[in-house]
Amino acid sequence: MIRLENLRYRYRPEIPPALDSVSISITRGSIHGLLGPNGAGKTTLISLLAGLLTHREGRITIDGESLDGWRAAHPNAIAQVPQDYAFYPMLTVTENLAFFAGVQGIPRREQQHRCDRALAFSRLETVAGRRAGELSGGLRRRLNLAIGLTGEPEILLLDEPTAGVDSSSRLFLLEAVRQYAAAGRTVLYTSHYMEEVEAVCSDVSIIDHGKVLLAGPVTEVKRGRTLEQVFMELTGHSLRD
């Protein structure tokens, strides 16, 4: 179980906290959706779990152990797939995978197997020799995901993994996420597409202004409505930045 308890994070003292007393429980082996309008605190939460930010108030535990302790014991067990295309456009698909596998300290002999598996999982074999900068939007998204999988993480943090891709690529990515979680891994999934969250997530947390508004299994949260209706009721209809 991944537990976030009374988590509070403030970027600067003079501005309101990005996360305020956030408590979420994420069951291991589930796909947990994280919904919220722009500026709600989703990226801050993912950044805290990924170790990009350090929390000073509240607790994050994984299987009862503190986040830092757990990460130290399982160095490559959490991977973040950012919304941006975070790879080197001048390198080929294979070179990108090899580079990111290499910097994770994966033994050289194991690196090749991991890269091959990530390549196959993301169905990028046919473009393995092409420069990443020359790929289409859908292929770039798949490469972005594949890089995150080179460490074969137990916990995968996906930040808007289907942003800006066509329907077929989106369906492929959703299926890939399902497959990954089916092997007992945990996925934290943020998206603006409610139907995606409904389709792939077993649990969902809706956050806004740094607070958790509602959390639970998707079926319980919906209660006969669509997820979009629930979301709009909770967060309001005003335009956000």
Partner 1 sequence: MPAIFILIMSLALADSLSGQKEASLAYAVLDFDGTPLSRAFDSQLGNLDLLNKSAPPSSEADARLQVRDQKTAFVIVIPQGFANQIGSNQPPELRLLIDPAVPGMVRNGFRQHVEAAATRVWLTQILEHLRQRMMLPVAEPAGAPEISIESVSNNDTAAAAPPSSVQQSVPAWLIFSMFFVVIPISAVFIGERQCGTLQRLRAQRVPFSLVLAGKFVPFVLVNQMQAVVMVAIGRWLVPLCGGEALTLPGNAAALMALSMLSLAVSVAAVGWALLIASFARSSEQATILGGVGNILMGAIGGIMVPRYVMPAAMQTWTHISPMDWALEGFHEVMLRQGGFTDILPAICSLVCFGLAALAAAAFLNHRATNT
Binding site for partner 1 (CB under 8 A): 11-12, 50-54, 71, 75-76, 78-80, 82-88, 100, 103-104, 147, 151
CB 198 to partner 1: min, Å: 27
Indicate the SS3 state at residue 43.
helix
Query: Which residue reads 């209809």 in tokens?
Result: 237
CB 220 to partner 1: min, Å: 32
Instruction: Give 30 or 150: the residue with its C-beta nearer to partner 1.
Output: 150
Dihedral (CA of 71, 72, 77, 81) sign: positive
The Cα–Cα gap between 52 and 30 comes to 23
Instruction: Give 50 or 124: the residue with its C-beta nearer to partner 1.
Output: 50
Instruction: Give 23 or 104: the residue with its C-beta nearer to partner 1.
Output: 104
β 203-208/155-159 pair status: unpaired
CB 82 to partner 1: min, Å: 5
Structure tokens at 36: 């919220």
Distance of CA 239 to the CA centre of its chain: 25
The Cα–Cα gap between 152 and 201 comes to 20
CB 18 to partner 1: min, Å: 11
CB 6 to partner 1: min, Å: 20
Instruction: Give 80 or 235: the residue with its C-beta nearer to partner 1.
Output: 80
Residue pair 189/197 in contact (Cβ under 8 Å)? The answer is: yes
Instruction: Give 132 or 227: the residue with its C-beta nearer to partner 1.
Output: 132
H or E stretch covering 186: strand 186-190
